[in-house]
């Protein structure tokens, strides 16, 4: 009896942050499981968290621009408390070839890092909501997880989960601008309109040290569809030329172009209005 009373008193007297778990429970749906994780928190600025997805062998999920099939994840954080904003960061994906064509996404385990801005910086955040995403083995099926996690600057962390988060944060492309002559990155973008279809021609410059490059593209706004970039030509200087097909609402929209060389990746936002015509 005394032990039960002591436990009850201890539970009441501890602050909420001391009782908070550093990870949420796994939520399984079909060939995947999903949870929220927390990282070491900075003394100021957005809090660090992540959506960890573990996919069964043979299954995949999709990047923010999934390619010729699939759909990207959607996030509803309306059940949260003390939340001003959540920014979802997307680590570099892989290309997959299947019966539907080329798709872009992840296999195995992926963490989507989150930057969580509190409404009141002095108070903890209850991050709670629904993640709706697609998973695919041979056919794409919808998956969903209702998840919640308390985030506090003084809260503890799960060392393995925090290390996972840090590793995937390092795989998020850095923000950049059009590359200077001879520098790695997006060297130039032009636009060609044909009816309801718009095609971008994108020049990518390889690093000075050489090596192969890749290009990914994603819409900034949801009402624009962006195809998988296709390489058209390469030259001995390390420059490659790519085609990216767009459809949907183009006026006033932007596209993120992500140039990749080894472990380096640079993301450049491109406003579509005013782009020069393809020569």
Q: Residue 148 belongs to a domain with what CATH number? A: 2.60.40.1250
Statement: residue 145 has pLDDT above 80: yes
Q: Other CB atoms closer than 10 Å to residue 255's CB: what's the count?
A: 25
Beta-bridge partner residues of 193? 198
Domain span including residue 226: 175-271
Closest CA to 244 of 182, 186, 205: 186
Q: How many domains does the chain have?
A: 2
Return the pLDDT at 237: 82
| pTM, two decimal places | 0.89
Q: What's the pLDDT band for 238 if we cut at 50, 70, 90?
A: confident
% of the chain beyond a pLDDT of 90: 75
Statement: residue 120 has pLDDT above 90: yes
Answer whether residue 9 is part of any domain.
Answer: no
The token pair that represents 31 in the structure block = 């060939």
Give the torsion sign (CA, 236, 239, 240, 243): negative
Q: Does 112 share its domain with 212? A: no
CATH code (residue 225):
2.60.40.10
The token pair that represents 91 in the structure block = 């680590």
Q: Give pLDDT tens digits for 154-209.
A: 988 999 999 999 999 999 999 999 998 889 999 999 999 987 789 999 999 999 88
Q: Does 41 share its domain with 165? A: yes
Statement: residue 23 has pLDDT above 90: yes
Last residue of a domain, one of 172, 201, 216: 172
Answer whether residue 64 is part of any domain.
Answer: yes
Q: What's the pLDDT band for 279 if we cut at 50, 70, 90?
A: low
Answer whether residue 279 is part of any domain.
Answer: no
Q: Give pLDDT tens digits for 8-22.
A: 333 443 444 444 579
Question: CB under 8 Å to 24, separation ≥6 — which residues?
Answer: 35, 36, 37, 147, 148, 149
Ramachandran angles phi, psi of 167, nearest 5°: -65, -40
Q: Does 57 share its domain with 158? A: yes
Answer whether residue 193 is part of any domain.
Answer: yes
Last residue of a domain, one of 129, 156, 172: 172
Q: Give pLDDT tens digits for 30-74.
A: 999 999 999 999 999 999 999 999 999 999 999 999 998 889 999
On average, the pLDDT of the chain sits at 90
How confident is the model over 104-108, as a mean pLDDT?
97
Answer whether residue 276 is part of any domain.
Answer: no
Least confident of 16-25, 60-69, 141-150, 249-258: 16-25
Cα distances (angstroms) measured from residue 131 to each of 46, 52, 70, 237, 255: 20, 11, 16, 44, 24
Ramachandran angles phi, psi of 122, nearest 5°: -85, -10
Helix, strand and coil percent figures for the chain, each rounded to 5: 10, 50, 40
Beta-bridge partner residues of 255? 219, 270
Last residue of a domain, one of 172, 187, 210: 172
- Say if strands 109-118 and 254-261 run parallel, antiparallel, or are unpaired: unpaired
Q: Does 23 share its domain with 100? A: yes
How confident is the model over 142-162, as a mean pLDDT?
95
Answer whether residue 8 is part of any domain.
Answer: no
Q: Does 30 share its domain with 163? A: yes
Q: Does 243 share its domain with 158? A: no
């Amino acid at each position: 009896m005394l032990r039960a009373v002591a436990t009850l008193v201890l539970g009441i007297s501890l602050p909420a942050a001391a009782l908070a778990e550093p990870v949420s429970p796994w939520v399984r749906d079909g060939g995947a499981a999903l949870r929220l994780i927390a990282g070491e928190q900075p003394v100021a600025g957005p809090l660090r968290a992540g959506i960890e997805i573990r996919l069964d062998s043979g299954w995949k999920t999709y990047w923010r621009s999934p390619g010729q099939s699939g759909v990207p994840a959607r996030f509803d954080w309306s059940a949260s408390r003390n939340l001003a904003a959540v920014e979802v960061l997307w680590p570099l994906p892989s290309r997959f070839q299947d019966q539907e064509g080329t798709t872009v996404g992840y296999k195995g385990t992926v963490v989507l890092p989150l930057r969580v801005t509190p409404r009141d910086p002095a108070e903890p955040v209850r991050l709670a909501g629904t993640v709706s995403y697609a998973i695919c083995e041979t056919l794409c099926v919808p998956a969903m997880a209702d998840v919640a996690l308390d985030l506090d600057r003084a809260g503890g962390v799960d060392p393995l989960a925090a290390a996972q988060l840090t590793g995937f944060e390092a795989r998020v492309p850095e923000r950049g601008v059009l590359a200077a002559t001879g520098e790695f990155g997006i060297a130039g973008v032009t636009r060609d309109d044909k009816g309801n279809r718009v095609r971008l021609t994108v020049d990518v410059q390889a690093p000075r040290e050489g090596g192969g490059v890749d290009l990914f593209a994603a819409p900034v706004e949801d009402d624009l569809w962006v195809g998988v970039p296709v390489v058209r030509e390469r030259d001995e200087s390390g420059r490659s030329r790519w085609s990216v097909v767009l459809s949907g609402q183009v006026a006033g929209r932007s596209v993120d172009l992500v140039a990749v060389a080894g472990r380096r990746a640079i993301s450049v936002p491109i406003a579509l209005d005013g782009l020069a015509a393809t020569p």
